[in-house]
Structure 1
Amino acid sequence: MAKFQGFEFWRKTLKEARYAVAPMVDQSELAWRLLSRRHGAQLCYTPMLHAQVFVRDANYRRENLYNEVCEEDRPLITQFCANDPEVFLQAALLAQDYCDAIDLNLGCPQMIAKRGHYGVFLQDEWELLEKMVSLANERLSVPITCKIRVFKEIEKTVRYAQMLEKAGCQLLTVHGRTKDQKGAMTGIASWEHIKAVRQAVNIPVFANGNIQHLGDVERCIQETGVQGVMSAEGNLHNPALFEGRSPPVWEMAEEYLEVVKRYPPCTLSYVRAHLFKLWHHTLQIHQDLREELAKVKTLEGLADVSKQLRLRCQVQTGNGTRGLSSHQGSEVKKKKTVCQKRALEDCDGTADTLSKNKQKKRSRNPNKNFCPDQKPKYIKCEQCGNPKGNKCVFNLCRGCCKKKAYKEVADCPSHGLRFKTKAEKRKAEEKEQVEKEQVEKEQVEKEQVEKEQVAISTTEMERRSSTPQPLHDSRRELQEQSKHQPLL
């Protein structure tokens, strides 16, 4: 049967899903997806999976997808990060029977994505992306989708989206932030970019960015005209976001822990991270339980800390303090003024303006400079744009240097690459081995010749001893005997 495409895929396979839980590394696992579906989510994505690891490691496949097959967890889209068309295709073929579509991550802006050269750091390589998407669209039995970030220019973003649509993308999720909008520079997502993309393509579009309440969802759909809205941070703080509720945080925490127990195994670090998000505002007040939550090593221990937090919140509620829901915790935060956001760090790097992490670094190295304006400017790699090695013989980053050194059989001491040295050493060892084998061969031949000569000598002596003596020799012997006989 031919696979569904575009709006037909959205209507029949995704059942016109409007509310989607974003693919989040180590945070959109099965238990969290099921919890979100209970509270209004209509579509979920797996965490971002690494295509190359997924292909080569059977344990990785089993732990991240195969053992999470659940009838309640549909529709489901599996997301991969990749930068090689063949590897991406192989991973997708291994995953297609366990989900409803395959998504290519073109939006991750983190440093790990920069080092691995995937996610948003592929957004300028249109030829490569076109090949990846088109190959997957031709060979897979399920649709291919993409999640992207925008360029600063709306026109370029529109052309980018149209290129992916032409290559075979059947659903496009647009995160309305640029590659540089992350961390302290996150800022507000541009719904204007998303609206322009929606008007320019003929496939379903999902919007991502600025979604913290159900009101944001409805307003986004109305302003941009998209088919659905995706939430990440808002969902982590309040899994009931798509229900339009802000239940007491302990309700969500206890329900999540109950789902985790019903659908094991679940990595403990995932559970801990979710509890930190759910209890975020409360933990700013109860610092002792924050430290305990970070230390406990069992699921029971995590549940016990969550229970203590619930009891403390209920005591505060009884004393007239509002119950702490996922969003209502901000009210307590304002009253207690325990965790006010610190000011932006100044160039002088005083202790009051530095984060705790940087204060620790300052204590270890008092001369360390934290001012962005005074940090050294790194020279870019000539091929990929990453910082190049300071003493690299090719003026490249380590990844590009390794490829070039391998291809040209060269050395780069700066990056610890010794391809030429190893090749020469291997050649010398091979030459030494050949010479050794030649000497051994000559020795064997010499011994063989000596054995043959000895055998010939032995044979000759045996032949002579067995041959009768000549007649004249017998007469000479008789004459000699007669000389010594006495006269009669």
Structure 2
Amino acid sequence: MEFWARSLRGARYVLAPMVDQSELAWRLLSRRHGAQLCYTPMLHAQVFVRDANYRRENLYSDLCPADRPLIVQFCANDPDVFVQAALLAQEFCDAIDLNLGCPQMIAKRGHYGAFLQDEWDLLEKIIERACEKLSVPITCKIRVFPEMEKTVTYAKLLEKAGCQLLTVHGRTKEQKGPLTGVASWEHIKAVRNAVKIPIFANGNIQFLSDVERCIQETGAHGVMTAEGNLHNPALFEGKNPRVWEMAEEYLDLVRQFPCSLSFVRAHLFKLWHHTLQVYQDLREELAKVKTLEGIIAVNRELKRRCQEEAANQKEGEEPTGELPFFHWICQPYVRPPPKDTTKEESGVRGKRALEDEEENAELLSKNKQKKKLRNPKKSFDPALKPKYAKCDQCGNPKGNKCVFQLCRSCCKKAAFREMADCAGHGLLFKTKYEKSVQCKSVQNVEAPEINIPEAPILQPPPEIKA
């Protein structure tokens, strides 16, 4: 509790760790508009230890006095690797967070995030080892089990191992994408009442009123938001500004603190989400631009059209459709509920079932439904999917034909280091080297002397007398 009050300054409004979305520029924008504590994007512990460029791009180059308090989040499944990564990061942050909440397929393949939530012995070792070696506190972010009692036992185990702050996302690992559904604040409240460490609640946050209501209903010390913040960075201020105001402010910060263009484009898609449904041509343009200046130009055109539309409004005119505000006002995007939602009393949805595709076709994403129409025989049953072999170095899926048995990134480094080829990944370091050597050897070979016999001297023909 002392750590939360002192090091984290009693933060109640928290920006979630978001892969490729909670970079420095966005963190600073969120802090300006009410966020009191920010997390870095989830960083891969093994890559962080191995790759100096990865460390510099994701943390070391982000040093900014205004970006505190800050918690660095890692995904890991090995105690030693997690500790090594944390030791390299601890002087740049106020705490280290272990990601136990990522439900995505890449986490399943790499065996981290929410797919560690049943390996309690391993989690105890990771946290205990980190507490012994680090000078900053260890925190965790988890998802709940469908069973409330098991969730409480899980939280107590992490607390006992040494976790000093716990963020509870009130959804199971199956609740994602079209099956996201509603988060269970009941589970969060049960955890809050069972442990003595500070608790952050995560889920169902779209307005500032949701934040206050969540704190009252769960007793949480703070509230974390992800999607709500992406659509409205001023959520914690209780304001709904015009989208172009937030977009222009963010783009100015990107100029000062550059980041990947894909991050910037993704943020603009979220901010302008409702407006881009109206102006589809600009949506396509935003997807195509290749420079920051191009993105700024699209943002400028979106602003112009919205201002023109607002100027032509009649007095007292109300927004049409289901949106509470006009589309150029920052407001949440509400996901449509799952069509087959059968919530239990706890409000937590059961496991996703795709065994019978004909009866459960509505559970497929729109993209998979399109693929199903094109190829009716295609199966989406998870049990029939090929098993992905792991890269020996980083745990990500390795190439099926890789000569090093590695993923593409690790293979590229190995092939360059050993000057070898990998046909599976199309890397030809050895072949290129041999060709260059051959070219140099050919250039350095002296041309052999060739004896060319002298041409005979031809005599002029005799004169012809008449």
Letter in 2 for 1:105: N
Q: Does 1:361 align with 2:396?
A: no
Partner of 1:310 in structure 2?
303
Q: Does 1:13 align with 2:4?
A: no
Deviations 1:137-164 (A, max 9, x none): 1110100000000011111111100100
- Match of residue 268, structure 2, among 270, 275, 295: 275
Partner of 1:165 in structure 2?
159
Q: CA deviation at 1:329?
A: 7.2
TM-score (structure 2 length as normaliser): 0.74
Q: For 1:26 and 1:417, locate their aligned partners in 2 and report how far apart those are by CA, in whole Å.
A: 28
- Match of residue 49, structure 2, among 42, 55, 68: 55
Partner of 2:146 in structure 1?
152
Q: CA deviation at 1:315?
A: 1.0
Partner of 1:398 in structure 2?
389
After the TM superposition, which segments of 4 or more aligned residues of structure 1 sit over 4 Å from their partners?
321-324, 327-333, 339-349, 351-356, 414-419
Letter in 2 for 1:398: A
Q: Structure 1 residues 162, 342: closer, same or farther in 2, change over 3 A?
A: closer
Q: Structure 1 residues 319, 216: closer, same or farther in 2, change over 3 A?
A: same
Deviations 1:382-430 (A, max 9, x none): xxxxx665xxxxxxx6349x89xxxxxxxxxx976999xxxxxxxxxxx
- Of residues 312-321 and 150-159 in structure 1, the stretch that sits farther from structure 2 once superposed is 312-321
Alignment of 1:326-405 (within 5 A): 331-332=326-327, 357-358=367-368, 361=371, 365-369=374-378, 375-376=380-381, 378=383, 389=387, 398-399=389-390
Q: Structure 1 residues 352, 190: closer, same or farther in 2, change over 3 A?
A: closer
- Match of residue 180, structure 1, among 174, 181, 184: 174
Alignment of 1:289-300 (within 5 A): 289-300=282-293
Deviations 1:161-211 (A, max 9, x none): 010001000000000000111111111000000001011111000000000
Q: For 1:192 and 1:213, locate their aligned partners in 2 and report how far apart those are by CA, in whole Å.
A: 20
Contact 2:181 2:338 in 1 (8 A): no
Partner of 1:109 in structure 2?
103
SS in 2 for 1:220: helix
Contact 2:148 2:187 in 1 (8 A): yes
**Aligned CA-pair RMSD:** 3.1
Alignment of 1:82-481 (within 5 A): 82-263=76-257, 265-320=258-313, 331-332=326-327, 357-358=367-368, 361=371, 365-369=374-378, 375-376=380-381, 378=383, 389=387, 398-399=389-390
Q: Which structure shows the bigger proportion of residues in helix conformation?
A: 1
Q: For 1:139 and 1:343, locate their aligned partners in 2 and report how far apart those are by CA, in whole Å.
A: 45
Mark the runs of 5 or more structure 1 residues left unpaired by the alignment. 1-6, 334-338, 380-386, 390-396, 404-413, 420-488
SS in 2 for 1:40: coil
Q: CA deviation at 1:366?
A: 3.8
Contact 2:15 2:37 in 1 (8 A): yes
Partner of 1:452 in structure 2?
none
Q: For 1:176 and 1:307, locate their aligned partners in 2 and report how far apart those are by CA, in whole Å.
A: 38
TM-score (structure 1 length as normaliser): 0.71
Q: Structure 1 residues 192, 99: closer, same or farther in 2, change over 3 A?
A: same
Q: CA deviation at 1:320?
A: 1.0
Letter in 1 for 2:242: P
Q: For 2:210 and 2:306, locate their aligned partners in 1 and report how far apart those are by CA, in whole Å.
A: 28
Q: For 1:25 and 1:360, locate their aligned partners in 2 and report how far apart those are by CA, in whole Å.
A: 27
Contact 2:41 2:73 in 1 (8 A): yes
Q: For 1:252 and 1:17, locate their aligned partners in 2 and report how far apart those are by CA, in whole Å.
A: 23
Q: For 1:13 and 1:71, locate their aligned partners in 2 and report how far apart those are by CA, in whole Å.
A: 15
Pair member with larger Rg: 1
SS in 2 for 1:398: coil
Contact 2:178 2:338 in 1 (8 A): no
Deviations 1:13-34 (A, max 9, x none): 1110000000000000000000
Q: Give identity over the alignment, percent.
A: 69
SS in 2 for 1:25: coil
Q: For 2:59 and 2:217, locate their aligned partners in 1 and report how far apart those are by CA, in whole Å.
A: 36
- Match of residue 25, structure 1, among 19, 23, 45: 19
Q: CA deviation at 1:357?
A: 3.5
Contact 1:47 1:79 in 2 (8 A): yes
Deviations 1:267-315 (A, max 9, x none): 1000000000000000001000000000001111001101100111111
Mark the runs of 5 or more structure 2 residues left unpaired by the alignment. 329-333, 341-355, 394-398, 405-466
Contact 1:234 1:241 in 2 (8 A): yes
Q: Does 1:74 align with 2:83?
A: no
Letter in 1 for 2:376: N
Q: CA deviation at 1:355?
A: 6.8
- Match of residue 41, structure 1, among 21, 35, 42: 35
- Of residues 353-362 and 132-141 in structure 1, the stretch that sits farther from structure 2 once superposed is 353-362
Q: Higher relative contact order by CA 8 Å / sep ≥ 6: 1 or 2?
A: 2
Q: CA deviation at 1:376?
A: 4.4
Contact 1:388 1:398 in 2 (8 A): no
Contact 1:173 1:208 in 2 (8 A): yes
Q: Structure 1 residues 323, 368: closer, same or farther in 2, change over 3 A?
A: farther
Q: For 1:207 and 1:340, locate their aligned partners in 2 and report how far apart those are by CA, in whole Å.
A: 20
SS in 1 for 2:196: coil
Contact 1:248 1:323 in 2 (8 A): no
Q: For 1:353 and 1:45, locate their aligned partners in 2 and report how far apart those are by CA, in whole Å.
A: 32
